[in-house]
Each structure stands twice: as C-alpha cells, then as structure tokens.
Homo-oligomer: A and B are copies of this chain.
Amino acid sequence: MKIRDKHLTRKRLIASVGSLLAKKGFKGIGVNAVAREAGVDKVLIYRYFGGLSGLIAAYGREGDFWPSALELAGGDLRAFAESSLSERLSAMGKNFIRALRQRPVTCEIMVWEMSERNELTEELEAVRESSMVEFFNMFLAGPLEKKNEVPDSQILSADDLQAIVMLMGAAISYLVLRSRSIALYGGLDLSSDSGWQRIEQAMAKMIEAMTRG
C-alpha cells in the first residue's frame, strides 16, 4: 500500500532495468532482482508487462541507448553532407567511438545480444537494427551520390564502401566492448583518451589511403 500509481510503478520498473544493467550487467537481470531494485513486488512485472520480456521491450523503446544518425554525423547533418567522403568516414568513426564509450548500458546490451538469443535480446536488437538502417540510408544512399565532385567512388564501389563502413563499425564495437574489461589489446591502449586518439588516427590514415586510391 505504498504509491498506488500504476504509471509511476511502471516507470520505476523500467528505470530499474537500466540501473540494474549499469550496476550488475545483464547477468543481474531477473524478475526478482528487477522488482527488488524498484522496491516493488515482482508480480507487477507479470501484470503490467506480461513478464520480463515485455518489461525489457518497454525499456528498449524508452531509452536513447543507441546513437542517432544525427549524433553519428556529428550534430550537423548539413555540414556532414557537404564534407568529403574521407572526412565523413573519419568523423563517423570518431563519433561512433565517442557515442559507444559514453553509453555503458548500450555496451552491456551489445554483449548481452552476443551471448544469448532469446525474447529479451531480440526486442532490444530490433531497436538497434532500425537505427542502423536509418543511418546507412542517410549516409550511403544519400550524400554519396549527390556529392559527385568527389571522384573516389570510382575506386570504391557502393558495395565495398558498405562493407568497409561495417568493418569499421565492427572493429570499433569490438574494441570498445573489450575496453570494459582489459586495458591493453595487442598493444593498443584502450583505457586512455590518448590511446583512442591513436586508434582514430590509424583509422583516418586507412581511410585517406583508400579514398585517395
């Protein structure tokens, strides 16, 4: 007989998923744990969300745990669209690194999606995928063809470009996820900002070499 407010209780439960993910990781997510964290009886999870998967889905829909296309573009879509391909790729890499590094909960979810596939992770993945598609539509189908003053698309086909962007994203994802538990990865410093700057520089060099063709 505490609050008697369904909306507030729902919000508390959803928020508890996030704070529990941040504190204990995805291993700490469970009906009992979430209810305990929210200071609420666990039976309300079943009543209001139909179970833990429903609660997770609600959490996935609420939060901004995935960077938007705008954020990956650096905050200014116009300036982004008008820059050269190599500049765009480099900027995207840097922004993606920053976006991931400051979203520990997102990293936790990414690892979760890698470690088990169930109703819970599938709900979260749907949100992520739609964001990714949105960004690639903007980035690949959009300014690539409009900026015909850059002739480097002769060397990199649209297919190759897509693969390269995905490879960059994959590498960044892996390194950021690893940086949560190890400081050094094959000689790369994943713990300090200067270490990440070195990674960004190496990526910029790669990109420049490729686009210069």
Contacts and interface: CB of A to CB of B under 8 A. Distances in A.
A213 interface: yes
Main secondary structure of the interface of A (DSSP, over half): helix
Q: How large is the interface on A (under 10, 10 to 19, 20 to 34, 35 or more residues)?
A: 35 or more
Interface string A94-137: 00000000000000000111111100000001000000100010
A9 interface: no
Contacts of A73: none
A114 B177 contact: yes
A101 to B, nearest CB: 15
A167 interface: yes
A206 B207 CA distance: 9
Given A114-B111, A170-B170, A171-B170, A188 B209 contact: no
A68 interface: no
